[in-house]
Amino acid sequence: MSILAIATGWKLGLVVVWGGLPPLLFAGYLRIRLEFRLDEETGKRFANSSALAGEAVAAIRTVASLALERQILDQYRNMIDGIVRTSIPSILHSMFWFALSQSVDLLVLALGFWYGCRLLSFNEYTMRQFYIVFVGVFLSGRGAAQFFMYTSSITKAVSAGNYMAWVRSLKPIVTETPDNHDKGPSDSPDAMILDNVRFTYPTRPDAKVLGGISMTIQPGEFVAFVGSSGCGKSTMISMLERFYDPSSGSINLGAQNIALLNPRLYRGHTALVQQEPTLYQGTIRENISLGFENAEALTDDMIINACKQANIYSFIESLPEGPEYAVWFTRTLTLWRPAPAYSDCQGPCA
Residues 130-189: tens digit of each pLDDT: 777 777 776 676 666 667 667 667 778 888 899 899 888 888 888 888 888 888 888 788
Question: What's the pTM value of the predicted model, to 2 decimals?
Answer: 0.49
Q: Is 96 exposed, middle or buried (0-12, 13-18, 19+ CB in 10 A)?
A: exposed
Better pLDDT: 268 or 25: 268
At the top level of CATH, which class does the domain 192-267 belong to?
alpha beta
Which pLDDT score is estimated for 349?
Answer: 40
> In this model, does residue 350 exceed pLDDT 60?
no
Q: What is the pLDDT of residue 340?
A: 36
Q: What is the pLDDT of residues 115-137, one digit of tens each?
A: 888 888 888 888 888 777 777 77
Domain 2-168 CATH assignment equals 1.20.1560.10: yes
Q: Angle, nearest 10°, between helix axes 10-45 and 151-169? A: 50
More confident residue, 11 or 333: 11
pLDDT number for residue 164: 92
How close are the terminal C-alpha atoms of the chain, in Å?
67
Whole-number pLDDT of residue 346: 41
Mean pLDDT across 319-344: 54
How far is CA 128 from its chain centroid?
58
Whether 345 shows a pLDDT value over 60: the answer reads no
Q: How does pLDDT run across 81-105, given as a tens digit for each residue?
A: 888 888 888 888 878 888 887 787 7
pLDDT computed for residue 328 by the predictor: 63
Least confident of 7-11, 255-259, 318-322: 7-11
Radius of gyration for the alpha carbons in the chain, expressed in angstroms and rounded: 32
Domain ranges (residues) in the chain = 2-168, 192-267, 282-348
pLDDT of residue 149: 63
CA 30 to chain centre: 27
Q: Residue 336 — very low, low, confident or very high, per pLDDT cuts 50/70/90? A: very low
Q: In the prediction, which pLDDT does 341 show?
A: 37
